[in-house]
Amino acid sequence: MRTQPFLRLLVLLPLAGLLFATPPLPSEQLALLAKGHRFQRAGWIYIHAEGPPRARGFQHGFLLAKEIADGLKKTRASWEHLSALPWDWYVARADALLTAKIDAENLAELEGMLEGLASAGIRSSRAELVAYNAQTELFGYWWPQEFRKLKEGAKVPLPESCSAFIATGSWTADGGVVLGHNTMQDYHLAPPNVVLDLVPEKGQRILMQTTPGWIHSGTDFWVTSAGLVGAETTIGAFDGFDPSGLPEFSRMRRASQDAATIDDWCRIMQAGNNGGYANAWLLGDVNTGEIARLELGLKVVSLERTMDGVFTGSNIAENPKLLRFETTSNEVDIRASSVARRVRWKQLMARHKGRLDLALARRFEADHFDAFYGRERIGGRSLCAHHELDRDPAGNWPGVPYGPAGTLDAKVLDAKQAKAMSFSARWGAACGRPFDAAAFLAKHPQFEWMKDLLDNRPAQPWTTFRAGDRK
């Protein structure tokens, strides 16, 4: 009987926010949904998606329909405020620029997601999902070039997001790989509070942090069944985008799913590079103990690797040619958040060499030391950044006093966790400080346009996720 599996589905989805509007699914779609599930824990939403592309996409779209709709709303509002142009204008250009360049498997997963959304009563389009997945590379890299065409000389501030480190060998307590990362983001954007356990028919299983409706990580933090782990930090003050290249979000997903080695991952990521979302990628192979830093600009690419060392990321390029030719950063201006955090990473790594482990990684991601002032100070220059509390802008992003942006999570893993496809995470500020949207807006009415977009982030505990989790 068709109604019986659907009744079981009602029991499985009490948190999905869909029950009041979702009609019984036909047997074909129940079969697509069968291997997917979701639960919530400590501010995170855990999603398991498994099977061929259509099934994975359907599970993702159906189980996260409410959150994807909210993410689309936030992204649309952000775009229209940023550009003063309609959302449909952006979607049409993103579709024309990118859709034909997306590989067949990724495209099929997006089509499945669209079907899942429709079954949950959410209207969208393939073009909109492409534009949504590509928002980082298009908002921050393509749009500044387009904007200069429309308004000569104007520039769009590029978000400088994330603080991360990866270490191995004599630098860590057990000699294995240790990785730590936190995400810095505008608070009004779609929150990356999803842990996605992805089991494709071909390639590697992936456990990654992501945003509802994204087929890539985007923040980025992931571990795969090949023993590869990774994170990134954006290369700040970067200028460059090749519209003929392949979408960054599609390449990142292909690299993470298809790569068996660090070499594979870097090769896939560089093929068709469009310069969008220019990052320092921190990579590790927990089976060999090797780590690497791939700085992927547009024309300048730098790959460093070691079996005994540490790499950090704080939104400033390390490669001199990349720094000089493709960014406008001044690497000694410690007033900038990126430089201050770079200095802080060097201090912490030197002080704790040989002892780096999960406990220290958690402490680092929640660190409030301001290297410009030379003391503890909660603000935009610390590894755990709080621009919303800072009257002194620490760089070009968010570029204004009290800008509602900063660190909104923390994740750590070591080789033992990675081999079990697991990582530990904290949602909300890495230090645990809550964010009250109404109180913030009452104090800073200049950001009133965000009143329907900002969400509260109460203090949350650390928790651990594993591939195959149920609760």
Separation of alpha carbons 59 and 65, rounded Å: 10
pLDDT per residue as tens digits for the range 196-251: 999 999 999 999 999 999 999 998 899 999 999 999 999 999 999 999 999 999 99
- Tell me how many degrees the CA angle 399-382-406 measures, rounded to the nearest 5: 50
What integer pLDDT is reported at residue 22 of this predicted model?
Answer: 65
What integer pLDDT is reported at residue 18 of this predicted model?
Answer: 46
Q: What are phi and psi of 196, to 5 degrees?
A: -105, 120
Selection from 217, 243, 170 nearest residue 425 by Cα: 217
- Tell me how many degrees the CA angle 426-402-151 measures, rounded to the nearest 5: 110
Query: Six-digit token pair at 96?
Result: 């024309």
User: Domains plus CATH for the chain?
Assistant: 1-27 (no CATH), 163-466 (3.60.60.20)
Tens-binned pLDDT, residue by residue, of the chain (471 aa): 333 333 344 334 433 444 445 678 999 999 999 999 999 999 999 999 999 999 999 999 999 999 999 999 999 999 999 999 999 999 999 999 999 999 999 999 999 999 999 999 999 999 999 999 999 999 999 998 888 777 665 566 666 779 999 999 999 999 999 999 999 999 999 999 999 999 999 999 999 999 999 999 998 899 999 999 999 999 999 999 999 999 999 999 999 999 999 999 999 999 999 999 999 999 999 999 999 999 999 999 999 999 999 999 999 999 999 999 999 999 999 999 999 999 999 999 999 999 999 999 999 999 999 999 999 999 999 999 999 999 999 988 999 999 999 999 999 999 999 999 999 999 999 999 999 999 999 999 999 999 999 999 999 999 999 999 998
On average, the pLDDT of the chain sits at 94
What integer pLDDT is reported at residue 153 of this predicted model?
Answer: 56
What integer pLDDT is reported at residue 274 of this predicted model?
Answer: 97
Find tokens 């997601």 and name the residue.
113
What is the Cα 383 distance to its own chain's centre?
17
What integer pLDDT is reported at residue 151 of this predicted model?
Answer: 67
Name the H helices within 134-223.
Answer: 135-137, 143-150
What integer pLDDT is reported at residue 158 of this predicted model?
Answer: 66
What integer pLDDT is reported at residue 215 of this predicted model?
Answer: 98
What integer pLDDT is reported at residue 6 of this predicted model?
Answer: 37
What integer pLDDT is reported at residue 161 of this predicted model?
Answer: 78
Find tokens 């509602």 and name the residue.
404
Selection from 256, 273, 279, 243 nearest residue 105 by Cα: 256
What integer pLDDT is reported at residue 146 of this predicted model?
Answer: 86
Residue type, 165: F
CA distances from 167 to 149, 280, 353, 357 (A): 43, 15, 9, 9
Residue type, 173: A
